[in-house]
Amino acid sequence: MKNAVLALRAQQISESRREFNARGAKMTRCQQCLLAELYCICEGVVQADCDAAVCLLMYHNESFKPSNTGRLIAEIVPENYAFRWDRTDPDAKLLALINDPQYQPMVVFPAEDVEPGRAVTEVNITAGKKPLFIFLDGTWREAKKMIRKSPYLDNLPVLSITADKLSDYRLRVAPHAHQLGTAEVAIMVLALAGEKDAAIKLEQHFIKFRDAYLLGKRNKGRPE
């Protein structure tokens, strides 16, 4: 099972000159789901039947964080890509991907934070092309920085998603209650694109992850 986020994480670890210590770094974790070993959710994960591709553009050390939900998307959607964001020196493979004529790329981001006329609210795909959903994976402040300072994304349409319910993402505290975690946004995007199997499987996987993460955090990785 290809998980581009975990591959990016492994690459960053191999290139790093110092160890990245997130909260709970002393906890013994599964190296696949990054949850406390006792609450691992890896068994039984099944990829979805999905005709769309996803790309996670990840802010700096986002791939290291156990609370990151971008890797959940990569576990469910078979065709997945992940790159570390860089303002001036983007990965050549990222540029090749978004310029590949077989794909129809769009950046997922709220309409109110982009210039007028750039945002769309429906997924209308040209015949013969595959949708490529680009998620800006980081904190809200980091995502806003990425959308504003990535000239290589400027010509891409922005798919605007409006949450119809408050976020269930309780792993971090967002500045605004309506702001969603990356996986939650992806669930809504996949549903909007008609990828019902992927949306359902990702929602189920996200709920398992969220509950196991909070349980491990509360018990510090120890059994109840």
pLDDT at 164 over 70: no
pLDDT of residue 20: 54
pLDDT of residue 47: 96
Long-range contacts of 185-189 (CB under 8 A, 24+ apart): 185/108, 185/135, 185/161, 186/54, 186/73, 186/77, 186/108, 186/133, 186/135, 188/161, 188/163, 189/108, 189/123, 189/133, 189/159, 189/161
* 62-106 confidence digits (pLDDT tens): 998 998 999 999 999 999 999 999 999 999 999 999 999 999 999
**Percentages of the chain per state (helix, strand, coil), in multiples of 5:** 35, 15, 50
Long-range contacts of 216-219 (CB under 8 A, 24+ apart): 216/24, 216/27, 216/35, 216/36, 216/38, 216/39, 217/24, 219/36
pTM (whole model) above 0.85? yes
d(CA 204, CA 44): 12
Q: What pLDDT band is residue 173 in, cutting at 50, 70 and 90?
A: very low
Q: What pLDDT band is residue 33 in, cutting at 50, 70 and 90?
A: very high
Please provide residue 85's backbone torsions phi and psi, each rounded to the nearest 5 degrees.
-70, 140
HSE at residue 19, side-chain half, CA atoms within 13 A, is 5
Q: Show the tokens assigned to 112.
A: 């109110």
Query: Taking all residues of the chain, what is their mean pLDDT, rounded to a whole number?
Result: 87
pLDDT at 172 over 80: no
Comparing 31 with 100, which gets the higher pLDDT? 100
Q: Show the tokens assigned to 184.
A: 């939650």
Determine contact, residues 130/53, Cβ cutoff 8 Å. Answer: yes
pLDDT of residue 18: 66
Residue reference for tokens 């300072």: 149
pLDDT of residue 176: 42
